[in-house]
Amino acid sequence: MQIEYITSNNMWKLLYETIRLMDKATAHHGMRVSYIMSKMLECRGLNEKFEIADFMMLAMLHDVGAFKTDDVKKPLTYEAKAPAPHSVYGYLFLKYLSPLSDMSKMILYHHIDYSRTKDIDYQYKDELEILKVAEIIDVWIRAFGDKFSINMLDRYAGTKYQEEACQLLKQADAEFEIVKKIMDRSYIKEVDEAMEYILLSDDEKEKYLKMLMYCTGLKSENMVSETVATMYVCRELGRKLKQSEMDKNEVYYAALLHDIGMLAMPSKLVDAPRSLNQAEKNFIHTHVEIMEKVLEGKISPDIISIASAHHERCDGSGYPRGLKGNAMSDKQAILQIAENVVHMGMEKPYRRAFTKDEIIKDLNDGIVNDKYDGIIADTMVRNYDEIMEKAFARAQNALVTHQKLQSNYEQVYKSFR
């Protein structure tokens, strides 16, 4: 699949913004560790900028597991007192759901002392030691502020941290003024510049975009299954409507990213076991604008406009803009119908799943009341069984790796401790 909708450089920005939606401090910590690591690698003689970029992406994601296993507002707990859960989950997340699977063990070991990691036979063992030093330096800079001194590392060189990596940090700081730039935030400009050189293949971009969607599973597992099902219902519905390959792809990517704004919503609302009150609903509705802001300027505007209309309805009763039928495209309407059909068919903590008959009735009523695009809703009704069967079979397939992650977690966690 040709994925011309996003550039490599924008992929980095999107990754940062997505993590930022979940927690600002974690995103900034990831960005700083990314920067420190890149300068250490550069100092060590790794001059291929695209290779450094892979490690920067990894460093940006190093604490991603914490969104699942811990309260991210308490980094002291998961970074210092009990680091195993987020290390294991982050490792599996990267192993199964990212293009960085061969580097994922670095995440597993990122809080393990050098005295224990030094004998591990592993392709990226030196880079792992660099990541560990980069990580702790950022933690210390924040904790000690002006009192921070790079010599604090000396006590741990050779035991907690690899001696060469400690040395490398000092060298890199002497050459690039890492600590000063972290403190005055001028490092951000350098990170942006470094990312100009990042070069991702179509396959990697596709995997990263999917990974961003899988981030919604860090908040709520159901969101992943709903999104994946929606993507494939869009595909099958598009096929029935004889959509061009290009249009089908646009709708596919819009479906993939349409609920990414939900990452900014508190879990207690996302999975609330009750209907939400009006104020809460209004708040949840902002997920569409949040998604637009995150994707803006980074991904093709055509895709954003499809995604941003997923809660609009042809009679003007939808949100956020209250668009009416003639203001909407077929591509927007396809995502609306697909998303709604999948949503109704799923069981929610506050209601049972709609039956097929109830869903068909909703679609038919919607055609009569001009709530849905008549042609598209009618195509859905006439081909309901075929579309749903094919879409769910494909979604099931796509979700296998995601489920593997969940089922492997306990096992890996036990053997890791």
Phi-psi region of 322 (alpha: psi -120 to 50; beta: other; left: phi over 0): left
Shortest Å, Cβ 39 to Fe ion: 17
The residue at minimum Cβ distance from Fe ion is 63
Nearest to Fe ion of 79, 206 (CB atom): 79
Shortest Å, Cβ 66 to Fe ion: 7
Nearest to Fe ion of 199, 412 (CB atom): 412
Find, among 153, 188, 145, the residue nearest to 170 by Cα.
153
Query: Of the ranges 51-59, 76-84, 142-150, 263-271, which one interacts with Fe ion (CB under 5 A)?
Result: 76-84
Specify the amino acid at residue 185: R
Sketch the per residue contact string, 211 through 250, with Fe ion: x for CB under 5 A, - otherwise: ----------------------------------------
Shortest Å, Cβ 110 to Fe ion: 6
Nearest to Fe ion of 174, 266 (CB atom): 266
Sketch the per residue contact string, 245 through 264, with Fe ion: x for CB under 5 A, - otherwise: --------------x-----
Contact flag: residue 373 with Fe ion (CB under 5 A)? no
Contact flag: residue 63 with Fe ion (CB under 5 A)? yes
∠ CA 241-399-19, nearest 5°, is 100
Token pair listed for 289:
């604008």
Q: Whole-angstrom distance between the N-terminal and C-terminal Cα of the chain?
A: 41
CB proximity list for 293: less than 8 A, separation 6 or greater: none
State the DSSP code for 324: B
Judge whether 165 and 129 are in contact, CB under 8 Å: yes
Nearest to Fe ion of 135, 373 (CB atom): 135
Nearest to Fe ion of 37, 200 (CB atom): 37
Find, among 208, 341, 349, 220, the residue nearest to 273 by Cα.
349
Total residues interacting with Fe ion, rule: CB under 5 A: 4
Nearest to Fe ion of 135, 250 (CB atom): 135
Query: Of the ranges 60-68, 162-170, 209-217, 270-278, which one interacts with Fe ion (CB under 5 A)?
Result: 60-68
Shortest Å, Cβ 111 to Fe ion: 6
Shortest Å, Cβ 136 to Fe ion: 9
Task: Give the span between the Cα atoms of 171 and 151, in whole angstroms.
Answer: 12
CA separation, residue 357 to residues 71, 105, 362, 365 (Å): 41, 48, 9, 12
Shortest Å, Cβ 67 to Fe ion: 12
Query: Of the ranges 19-27, 61-69, 154-162, 178-186, which one interacts with Fe ion (CB under 5 A)?
Result: 61-69
Contact flag: residue 312 with Fe ion (CB under 5 A)? no
Nearest to Fe ion of 259, 373 (CB atom): 259
CB proximity list for 195: less than 8 A, separation 6 or greater: 8, 9, 12, 13, 53, 56
Residue with tokens 């495209």: 329
Shortest Å, Cβ 87 to Fe ion: 6
Nearest to Fe ion of 289, 370 (CB atom): 289
Which residues 125-164 are close enough to bind Fe ion by CB under 5 A? 135
Task: Give the span between the Cα atoms of 64 and 95, in whole angstroms.
Answer: 12
Based on the number of CB atoms within 10 Å of its own CB, is 235 exposed (0-12), middle (13-18) or buried (19 or more)? buried
Residue ranges binding Fe ion (CB under 5 A): 63, 79, 135, 259
